[in-house]
Structure 1
Amino acid sequence: MGERHSTLREQRRAETQRVIQAHAVRLFVERGYDGTTVNDVAEAAGVSPMTVYRHFPTKEDLVLVDQNGPLVAERIAATPAGQPLPRRIGGALVDSARALTASDDRFLLARLRLMISTPALRARHLDNHYALQRAIVAGLGIEATDPDAAFQAEAAASACLAAMHTALVRWANDDGRTDLPDLIAKALAATFGDETIR
Structure 2
Amino acid sequence: MSATGSALEELLAAPLGLRERKKLKTRRAIRAAAFGLFADQGYEATTVDQIAAAAEVSPSTFFRYFPTKEDLVISDDYDPLLEAAFRARPQDEPLIDSLRAAMIKPLREILAAERDDMLLRMRLYREVPAIRSRAMTEQQRTSDMMCGLLAERTGHDPRSLELRAVVAGILAASSETVIYWAERDGVDDVADLLDAALTALATSLR
| TM bracket, shorter-chain basis | 0.7 to 0.9
State the 1:40 CA deviation: 1.3
State the 1:39 CA deviation: 0.8
What is aligned with 2:141?
131
In structure 1, give the amino acid aligned to 2:141.
A
Asked if 1:158 is matched to 2:164, the reply is no
1:94 to 74, 98, 104: 104
Q: Structure 2: how far apart are the matches of 1:147 and 1:48?
A: 43
What is aligned with 1:69?
79
Q: Structure 1: how far apart are the matches of 2:205 and 2:165?
A: 18
RMSD: 2.6
Secondary structure of 1:57's match? coil
Q: 5+ residue gaps in structure 2? A: 1-15
State the 1:125 CA deviation: 1.4
Higher RCO (CA < 8 A, seq sep 6+): 1
Asked if 1:25 is matched to 2:35, the reply is yes
Q: Structure 1: how far apart are the matches of 2:50 and 2:161?
A: 44
- The one-character-per-residue Cα deviations of 1:153-188 (angstroms, maximum 9, x if unpaired) are 222211111111111011111222211110101222
How many aligned positions are there? 191
Q: Structure 2: how far apart are the matches of 1:144 and 1:85?
A: 9
Of all paired residues, the percent bearing the same amino acid is 34
Q: Indicate how the Cα distance of structure 1 residues 183 and 165 shifts in structure 2: closer, same or farther if over 3 A, else same.
A: same
Q: Indicate how the Cα distance of structure 1 residues 27 and 148 shifts in structure 2: closer, same or farther if over 3 A, else same.
A: closer
* Equivalent residues of 1:164, 1:187 under 8 A apart: yes
State the 1:194 CA deviation: 8.2
2:58 to 31, 40, 48: 48
1:9 to 5, 19, 41: 19
In structure 2, give the amino acid aligned to 1:115.
Y
Secondary structure of 2:72's match? helix
What is aligned with 2:91?
81
Q: 5+ residue gaps in structure 1? A: 1-5
What is aligned with 2:127?
117
Q: Structure 2: how far apart are the matches of 1:91 and 1:144?
A: 17
Matching of residues 137-148 of structure 1 within 5 Å? 137-142=147-152, 146-147=156-157
